[in-house]
Structures are given as C-alpha cells and as structure tokens.
Amino acid sequence: MKIIVCIKQVPGTTQVDIDEETGVLKRDGVESKINPYDLYALETALRLKAGCPGASVTAITMGPPQAEQSLREALMMGVDDVMLVSDRRFAGADVLATAHTLSQAILADGWETGVILCGQQTTDGDTAQVGPEIAEFLGIPHAANVTAIQDFSAGALTARVDLPATEEIIRIPLPCLVCVNKDIHTPRLPSYTLKKASRGRKVRMVTLADLPDSDPAHYGLNGSPTQVIRIFPPEHHVEHERWEGDPEALAGRLYDNLRAEKFLA
C-alpha cells in the first residue's frame, strides 16, 4: 500500500509583499515552509501507515529546486520516500496545470492503488482546487474538507466530511484522494535524529521527460487556461470608535450596536 502526500512550499510568514506592477509575490529573502495544511496531510498519512503494516508514505512536491527543502522536512517527519517534480517548463502553472503535472508524476511513479492525501488548501494560493483536480485527472474518487478518517481497512476508507450545513460520513473505495482539513490531527514535529539520518540522502527528481504525457503545451504557463490580469493587496477598511462612560450604559449601547449589525439575533 502506497500513501502519497502532495505538499507545497509556501512563504514562511503571512507578511509577504506583492509587487503591484507584476502581481508577483516578493519571495526574495522570505523564508519558506511547508504549507501548514499539508502538515495535517503528512500527519494523517503517517497515522494511516502506522495502522497498516507494509504501507509506505511518499511525499511529492512540484516546485523549483529549492523546494527540496520541504521534502527534507517531510523526511524529518518520518515519510519513507520523497519526489521533487521540477522543470523550468512547469513554471507559471495555474491550478489545472499543477494538478495535471502532479497527476502525471504520480503515474510516472508507478502508483496504482492506495490513498493520495492533500492539505485542504494552501496558505498562499488559497484555491483548494488542486487536490480534487488531481483526482479527476487520475479518474479516482475524492473527498475534500475531511475532518476525520474513522476507518481504513478492506480496500476503503471512511471519512467525516464537513459540509457548510451538514456533516457527511462517507465510505470511499481505494484508490482515492482525500483533502484533509486543519486540525484533523496536531502535526508531529520534525525529528533531529531523522534529520541526521536523512542528511546525505539524494532526493529523487522527476522532470517533463519522465512523464507519460511529455507535451510541453500541457504544462506551466502554456498549459494554464487561467490568465491573471492583476494581483493587488486587499484594501483595509478599519474603523475605530471609542466610547466612554457608565458600564451599564456602555453595555446596553454595545448590545444595541451588535444587534443592529446583526451579530446578535
């Protein structure tokens, strides 16, 4: 049984400036980290493996060569294998081209059955689309917004899915893809002993030439139907009001205001 986890390297802080002219994130000098949602996916994978003798966990990421750092961190958390999907021709990919690339890499790796785990979304793109699109490219069932995996046996898994107004418990046959939500499990911390053990280890790299579909028109900017016209930081509207006076009167006024703004029924 092979469990695959898709991870992404994102900026290490929430304070990343946007170049207003090009609409590109200013990543220079900003530290990177694993997308926090992907840590939940990694933790879920390692827990599924623990209950499934003979299973292995592979972390894959698409990105520039420096994305290797996030794979090394996955090794420090305890995954068995890692794969870096990297090629200049993958650059500028939108969600569709990214999902296509990752699904091709998963096929190139000889994956046939098991589970693919993704974080619900990334903290930089925030689209939550790549996971389900990978499943569509691979033609396998998927579930997003998963808050718990209750059972993993007999060729299927049972997932609790958080929908806006309801909660679903669904059973999905393998192979399948699951996007896990924040707080499904507290992610384990990277281990220093695993860091030492994996220090000299080479990270497997997959390029366009290794993929079943090697048509460059399907990858990167060329393979992306989404055209970004402009990216700009959101405008902030913060208004402050300061009230002073008698606590009873202020409490009443606060209550009236909250009601008027429909925060209270």
CB of residue 213 vs another protein: minimum separation in angstroms? Answer: 35
Answer for which of 163, 186, 230, 245 binds another protein (CB under 8 A) is 186
Q: Does 15 bind another protein (CB under 8 A)?
A: no
Q: Point out which residues pair with 156 in neighbouring strands.
A: 153, 173
Question: Which of 186, 227 has the CB closer to another protein?
Answer: 186
How far does the chain reach from its first CA to its final CA, in angstroms?
51
Specify whether the CB–CB gap between 114 and 174 falls below 8 A.
yes
User: Phi, psi at residue 255, to the nearest 5°?
Assistant: -60, -45
Residue 119: which of 107, 105, 130, 109 has the closest Cα? 130
Segment lying near another protein (by CB under 8 A), choices 30-38, 85-93, 135-143, 155-163: 30-38
* Residues numbered 211-230 forming contacts with another protein, rule: CB under 8 A: none
Q: Does 189 bind another protein (CB under 8 A)?
A: yes
Q: Does 78 bind another protein (CB under 8 A)?
A: no
The residue whose two tokens read 């002073």 is 244
CB of residue 104 vs another protein: minimum separation in angstroms? Answer: 30
Answer for which of 56, 188, 213, 221 binds another protein (CB under 8 A) is 188
Based on the number of CB atoms within 10 Å of its own CB, is 78 exposed (0-12), middle (13-18) or buried (19 or more)? middle
Q: Does 114 bind another protein (CB under 8 A)?
A: no
Number of residues that bind another protein (CB under 8 A): 18
Q: Report whether the peptide linkage leading into residue 175 is cis, meaning its omega lies within 30 degrees of zero.
A: yes
What 3 state SS string does 194-228 have? HHHHCCCCCCEEECHHHCCCCCHHHCHHHHCCCCC
Q: Does 119 bind another protein (CB under 8 A)?
A: no
Residues of this chain that bind another protein (CB under 8 A): 12-13, 31, 33, 36, 39, 76, 183, 185-193, 195
